[in-house]
Amino acid sequence: MAADLIDLVPRLGRPRALVVGDVMLDRYVWGNADRISQEAPVVLLRADAREERLGGASSVATMLQALGARTSLVGVVGRDADGLRARQLLTDLGIDAAGVAADPARPTTVKERYIGRAQDRHPQQMIRVDYESRDPVSGEAEREVAAAAAALVRDADVVLVSDYDKGVCTPAVLAKVVAAAKARGVRVIADPTRGGDYGKYAGCSAVTPNRLEAGLATGRTIATHDQALAAAAELRDRLGLEAGLVTLDKDGIAFAHRDGRSVVFPTRPRQVYDITGAGDMVMAALGLALAAGADYDAAIRLANVAGGLEVEKIGVATVTRDEILADLLHAPFRAAGRTAGAAKVVGLPQLLADLDRRRAAGQRVAFTNGCFDVLHAGHVQYLAEARRQADCLVVGLNSDASVRQLKGPTRPLNPVEARALVLAGLQDVDHVTIFADPTPLALIRAVRPEVLVKGADYRKSEVVGADFVEGCGGRVHLADLRDGFSSTDLIDRMKAA
């Protein structure tokens, strides 16, 4: 478990972030793609929904805002209906858009995506249509953008440059931003455009090109970790950066710092639905963590988690701190050959440390206990109801010796390792910890659950630990039991068969 990241998330605070770059409007048209057009051999999309989101630099701003930052945006829109819509979306999200200029000489950048569903499921992007000007802003618009950015740097904890090559991030604009940030000791992190001269990013704290962009900028083929690290180091040295980063999609992020650190931070496998917006999310999470005072190592690892969550969603989507924390707490990592479920089976010290982190993040803990010798549908239903009582469910599992004390010398049928692994495989179970005492009272006192759960075949006065939990301000919940299910009856039927 990434304990340091779990500790970091609640401490991120509300840093002030300034985003400079290309404001875009992402429009999605959804529908069923259920036949071929009679006019041409193309799929016919029967549209049934339309959605608008912010893209480009405004996507980074949106993601920062969703992550809890106080965000300002500097960029350019056209003096048109799409520009008004983009401004309204920014205002609705609480993003400071006073630095977004309106240029009558150019349209607002719009990316229109058509998303088709086959048989009312499996949405897939069919085509994207772009409306844009890629000419650099000039004259009054350039001066307005540069002045707004330099003024807003004074109140920022970090500056993120999101360059989609739509004309806003000119050398003059970036030079003014970098100079203002250096005067205040504020980091500038740039997500650069593809190809072109990277000289305009000189003096930034770091750049975060992807594999293709870094390859074009350095003239390298980037197929291995060593090649990615070499490209990151070259960009760092050539541009006078604090660090060079190269994002490697499913392979993580290559990081080369001027203090000598050179490492690839891996990411874990994900169910990828749509890579759109992943780079923006990495940028937003990286900037947020650095603004909150995190070191690059922790910031990059947090960015990997946030980017991984984003690709599990359709289109450009936001991720919240709660989602990141939940992913960290439930990450199905496989260490030392252990299965994902086995990672939930923990000793008391690790359990208590994790519960402290959860409570620091505002989560409540439910606890139940039992032998769970032969798991059946009644157990599954019971544990699901127990999990609904709080944000986290801890199951105290009787050791083999304590099961024999309770059930007799022929039990348990399954050793404690097997019982623990089966329980840990259930989605509703967050942690399994084994206890050897005749009763779970000592464990309950250590865990201090907000909710103590037992079956409805008990009276509250019979529940071990009830007085302690209620004395601490918690409550006791008696869960319904499913008729016709009993481990003892099930074992007897199996023997008879």
DSSP 255: E
Q: Which amino acid is at 175?
A: A
In the prediction, which pLDDT does 200 show? 95
Same fold, 3-330 and 341-496: no
Domain locations in the chain?
3-330, 341-496
Report strand pairing: 253-257 vs 243-247. Answer: antiparallel
Banded pLDDT at 175 (limits 50, 70, 90): very high
Helix pair 81-92, 57-66: axis angle to 10 deg: 20
Reading the block at residue 34, the tokens are 């259920």
Tokens of 427: 């989605």
Give the model's confidence band at 351: pLDDT under 50 very low, under 70 low, under 90 confident, else very high. Answer: confident
Q: What's the mean per-residue pLDDT of the chain?
A: 88
pLDDT at res. 249: 87
Which of residues 492 and 10 earns the better pLDDT score? Answer: 10
Say if pTM beats, i.e. exceeds, 0.85: no
| Residue the block writes with tokens 């924390």 | 325
What is the phi/psi pair of residue 320, to 5°? -100, 165
On whether the CB atoms of residues 58 and 2 are closer than 8 A, the answer is: no
Is 408 buried (19+), middle (13-18) or exposed (0-12) by CB count in 10 A?
exposed
Runs of H (alpha helix) within 67-111: 81-92
Helix axes 211-218, 225-239, angle to 10 degrees: 60
- Using the predicted structure, report yes or no on whether residue 338 has a pLDDT greater than 60: no
Burial 49-65 (b: 16+ CB within 10 A, else e): eeebbbbbbbbbbbbbb
What's the confidence (pLDDT) of residue 197? 79
Q: Residue 429: what pLDDT? A: 93
Give the pLDDT score at 273: 55
Q: Which CATH homologous superfamily contains domain 341-496? A: HUPs (3.40.50.620)
Q: What is the reported pLDDT for 329?
A: 64
- Preceding omega of 332 cis (within 30 degrees of 0): no
Residue 83 has pLDDT above 50, yes or no: yes
What pLDDT score was predicted for residue 289? 96
pLDDT digits (tens, 9 = 90+) for 237-248: 999 999 999 999
Q: What pLDDT digit, counting tens, does each position of 301-312 carry? A: 999 999 988 877
d(CA 197, CA 103): 25
Coil vs helix vs strand at 481: coil
Position 287 pLDDT exceeds 50 = yes
- Give the lowest-confidence range in 46-50, 139-143, 157-161, 360-364: 360-364
The reported pLDDT for the residue numbered 149 is 96
Strand 16-21 to strand 158-162: parallel, antiparallel, or no bridges (unpaired)? Answer: parallel
Distance, in Å, from the CA atom of 427 to the CA atom of 421, rounded to the nearest integer, reads 12
Query: Do 324 and 68 form a contact (C-beta atoms < 8 A)?
Result: no
Looking at per-residue pLDDT, the higher value among 1 and 130 belongs to 130
- Rounded to the nearest 10°, the torsion over CA 396, 400, 405, 408 is 120
CB 302 within 8 A of CB 289: yes
* Position 343 pLDDT exceeds 80: no
Of 102-106, 154-158, 192-196, 203-207, the poorest mean pLDDT is in 192-196
Class of the CATH domain delimited by 3-330: alpha beta
> Could you tell me the two tokens for 219?
């003239």
Catalytic positions, written as ranges? 280
Lowest mean pLDDT among 2-6, 180-184, 461-465: 2-6
User: Residue 333 has what pLDDT?
Assistant: 34
pLDDT at 172 over 50: yes
Instruction: Give the pairing of strands 475-479 and 451-455.
Output: parallel
Please report, rounded to a whole number, the percentage of residues in the chain having pLDDT higher than 70: 90
Q: What is the pLDDT of residue 431?
A: 92
Question: Residue 366 burial (CB < 10 Å; 0-12/13-18/19+)?
Answer: buried
pLDDT per residue as tens digits for the range 69-79: 999 999 999 99
Residues 6+ apart with CB under 8 A from 338: none
DSSP3 helix / strand / coil % (the chain, rounded to 5): 40, 25, 35
DSSP-based three-state secondary structure for 418: helix
Confidence category of residue 336, pLDDT binned at 50, 70, 90: very low
